[in-house]
Amino acid sequence: MTTHYRLAINFDDKSYHDYVWLFGLKFGDKGIFENVEYIFIKKNKVSQTMNSRGSSTTIRKEEYDGYLKFSEENKIHLLTSDSKKQLLKKLSEIATKCSTKIFDYSDGEPIEVTA
């Protein structure tokens, strides 16, 4: 089975389609927006517990999530990465295409990211 996560943004009619592509079919949400405000990064702490017969191990780490903000109520998750540097590289390409800025909220107060 082949699936792809996609986000299509149409700036002419100010609409978007956030979907999963499965064998040529698109399953997901459609919406409209006034403008693209900005892209932002948040940090999350995640843990994963692995169990075996005699023991269990918990791995804790930080991940970084990138979001596209249309409005206060309308945000779309774009990417997740263990590396903030790799996430910024990918988000910079998206920000260029959307003609918007990137803000980093991972250390608390927002900081504008410049290329």
The secondary structure element, H or E, covering residue 74 is: none
Structural contact between residues 14 and 32, judged by C-beta atoms closer than 8 angstroms: yes
Q: Is the pLDDT of residue 105 over 80?
A: yes
| Region class of 4: left (phi > 0), else alpha (psi between -120 and 50), else beta | beta
pLDDT tens column, 34-55: 999 999 999 999 999 999 988 9
- Residue in 43, 45, 60 with CA at minimum distance from that of residue 104: 43
Query: Exposed, middle or buried, 107 (CB in 10 Å: 0-12/13-18/19+)?
Result: exposed
Q: Is the pLDDT of residue 115 over 80?
A: no
In sequence order, the β-bridge partners of residue 26 are 21
What number is the average pLDDT over the span 86-94?
95
Q: What whole-number distance in Å separates Cα of residue 16 and Cα of residue 74?
A: 11
pLDDT at 1: 65
pLDDT at 53: 86
Which amino acid is it at 97?
Answer: K
Both structure tokens of 72 = 């206060």
